């Protein structure tokens, strides 16, 4: 399953570089809302047969942070993300997605009553030959209200109130949930016995979304994969979705690092003459340079004791996030051709950092330890990591600025920050490249980023 999705992702990434193509009829997205329910079913029509994977970017009219998507039962992988005012859903299947009445059921959305979508900005579909087709001209219907999920075609088979069973075709694991890995071509139907199961175990290496319909959607953080899923203590295998769970079910997801995370050998010496292997920062510097997050100040020097500037730190975070967004900075002191320009624009747009004034960012100003803690905590929250609030526990707590106390406490609680030998945090001290390298290594390894 992981290999299949990695192929999907790589092909989609390549497709961004190719001209968009389209079939004779433009695709249409239909969002059917159930009467008296906060669920809506998402259908895709106007595409050819043989589609195995879909990436769809919707344009919500309001903040979509509370919107959750769960793929239909015949999908092997589903995921959603909310970023920069858009809401993107991903669906992947081992076999071609079933077309019923000229359309494909992608899955269902759990919405607030006021959640609506004004359009769709992009659609990418992948066929059985791993050929990607990109659409930018997409119609959307978000005003369809139905009594129950279905194709709303008024045919006689679905006009009665009879409960239609799956005729034994749905593969249900012994633990009580049904895995989306089963290729049963059954569409998702509400389960009147469903409820929100209890999630237990370590969730720091992935996010787990629980739907009100008894569904569980599992999303490993980058660098991690699902090793096993237990429902009521019974193994379901490395599945990414469970369906038809009940309120008294218990789910535990066991994550494991992928081979990519383990490829970095922190004991590998660096090429920098000012980073001897005997120094405490040797392994962190080795890690961040192998990851491509940091570079040296020259071919042979890393400058570990040099102060980290605001421009440097946002650039590292920008690289960690993929360095894909091209957002122009609005600050007068950030030249458009500056090496940190895109990073500053991205960080400011995503509210990871603010300027020192309405017009100035001060990219070359050294950043303090408490300022770095605030920026890193905001980035973790931006990526979906939930930090636990905690009071700070340093000898110099009184010196920590009020605006930074929560972030410093949360980062200390997570084991990402520590004090010096005397128990002081030194919040106003300028943080060095060596210190921030050590924090980044712990952060990336802990959360699989």
CATH placement of domain 2-146: 2.60.40
Q: What is the pTM of this model?
A: 0.46
pLDDT tens digits, one per residue of 131-148: 778 888 898 988 667 665
User: Tell me, what's the pLDDT at 192?
Assistant: 42
Burial string for 108-145 (b: 16+ CB within 10 Å, else e) reads: bbbbeeebebeebebbbbbbeeeebbbbeebebebeee
| d(C-alpha 313, C-alpha 376), whole Å | 9
DSSP-assigned states of every residue in 360-419: ---TTSBPBHHHHHHHHHHHHHHTT--PPP-----TTGGGS-HHHHHHHHHHHHTTS---
Q: Do residues 396 and 425 make contact, with C-beta atoms less than 8 angstroms apart? A: yes
Residue 105 tokens, joined: 């059921």
- For residue 365, the model assigns a pLDDT of 92
Alpha-carbon distances of 439 from 80, 227, 285, 340, rounded to whole Å: 29, 27, 11, 21
Residue 21's pLDDT is 41
At 4 the pLDDT is 38
Using the Cα atoms of residue 62, residue 64, residue 66 and residue 71 in order, give the sign of their dihedral. Answer: positive
Q: Which of 52, 47, 49 is nearest to 95 (CA)?
A: 52
Give, as one character, the DSSP assignment of residue 32.
Answer: E
Tokens of 97: 């997605």
Residue 136: phi and psi, rounded to 5, are -120, -10
CA separation for the pair 86, 215 (Å, rounded): 23
Of 373, 11, 78, 402, the residue nearest 217 (C-alpha): 78
pLDDT in tens, 226-264: 888 889 888 888 888 788 888 888 998 887 766 554 467
Question: 12 is written with which tokens?
Answer: 């989609």
Domain boundaries, the chain: 2-146, 178-258, 261-447
Burial status of residue 259 (CB atoms within 10 A of its CB: 0-12, 13-18, 19 or more):
exposed
Nearest-angstrom CA–CA distance, 240 and 79: 9
Residues 396 and 424 sit within 8 Å (Cβ to Cβ):
yes
User: Which residues, including other chains, have CB under 8 Å from residue 129's CB and lie 6 or more apart?
Assistant: none
Show pLDDT as tens, one digit a residue, over the chain (449 residues). 333 333 344 444 433 333 334 333 579 999 888 777 778 899 999 888 888 888 899 998 888 777 888 888 767 667 777 777 888 888 877 778 888 888 999 988 888 767 788 888 888 888 777 677 888 889 898 866 766 544 444 433 433 333 332 333 233 333 333 333 333 333 344 444 456 788 887 666 777 777 767 778 787 765 677 888 889 888 888 888 788 888 888 998 887 766 554 467 888 888 899 999 999 999 999 999 888 888 888 888 999 999 999 999 999 998 888 777 778 888 899 888 888 888 998 989 888 888 888 889 999 999 999 999 999 999 988 887 878 777 888 888 899 999 899 999 888 888 888 888 888 999 999 999 999 999 999 888 887 77
Cα Rg of the chain, angstroms = 24
Close Cβ partners of 244 (under 8 Å, ≥ 6 residues apart): 172, 176, 177, 178, 191, 193, 194, 214, 215
């Amino acid at each position: 399953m992981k290999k299949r999705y990695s192929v999907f992702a790589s092909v989609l990434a390549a497709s961004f570089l190719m001209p968009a193509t389209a079939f004779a009829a433009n695709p249409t997205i239909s969002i059917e809302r159930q009467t008296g329910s906060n669920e809506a079913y998402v259908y895709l029509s106007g595409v050819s047969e043989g589609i195995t994977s879909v990436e769809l970017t919707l344009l919500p009219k309001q903040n979509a942070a509370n919107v959750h998507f769960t793929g239909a039962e015949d999908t092997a992988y589903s995921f959603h993300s909310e970023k920069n005012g858009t809401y993107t859903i991903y669906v992947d299947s081992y076999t071609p997605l079933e077309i019923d009445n000229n359309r494909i059921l992608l899955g269902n959305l759990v919405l607030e009553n006021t959640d609506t979508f004004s359009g769709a900005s992009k659609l990418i579909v992948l066929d059985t030959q791993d050929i990607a087709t990109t659409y930018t001209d997409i119609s959307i219907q978000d005003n369809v209200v139905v009594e129950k999920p279905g194709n709303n075609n008024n045919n006689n088979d679905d006009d009665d109130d009879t409960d239609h069973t799956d005729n034994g075709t749905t593969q249900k694991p012994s633990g009580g949930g049904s895995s989306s890995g089963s290729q049963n071509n059954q569409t998702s139907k509400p389960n009147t016995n469903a409820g929100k199961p209890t999630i237990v175990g370590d969730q720091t290496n992935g996010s787990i979304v629980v739907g009100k319909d008894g569904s569980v959607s599992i999303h490993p953080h980058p660098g991690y994969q699902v090793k096993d899923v237990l429902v009521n203590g019974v193994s379901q295998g490395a599945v990414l979705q469970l369906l038809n769970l009940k309120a008294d079910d218990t789910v535990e997801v066991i994550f494991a690092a992928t081979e990519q995370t383990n490829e970095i050998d922190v004991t590998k010496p660096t090429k920098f003459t000012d980073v001897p292997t005997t120094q405490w920062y040797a392994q962190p510097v080795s890690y961040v340079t192998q990851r491509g997050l940091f570079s040296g100040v020259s071919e042979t020097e890393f400058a570990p004791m040099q102060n980290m500037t605001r421009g440097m730190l946002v650039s590292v975070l920008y690289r960690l996030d993929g360095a894909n967004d091209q957002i122009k900075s609005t600050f007068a002191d950030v030249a458009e051709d500056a090496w940190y320009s895109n990073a500053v624009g991205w960080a400011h747009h995503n509210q990871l950092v603010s300027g020192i004034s309405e017009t100035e960012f001060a990219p070359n100003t050294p950043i303090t330890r408490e300022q770095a803690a605030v920026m890193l905590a905001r980035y973790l929250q931006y990526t979906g990591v939930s930090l636990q609030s905690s009071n700070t526990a340093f000898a110099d707590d009184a010196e920590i600025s009020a605006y930074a106390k929560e972030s410093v406490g949360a980062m200390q609680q997570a084991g990402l920050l520590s004090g010096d030998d005397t128990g002081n945090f030194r919040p106003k001290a300028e943080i060095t490249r060596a210190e921030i390298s050590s924090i980044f290594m712990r952060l990336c390894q802990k959360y699989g980023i």
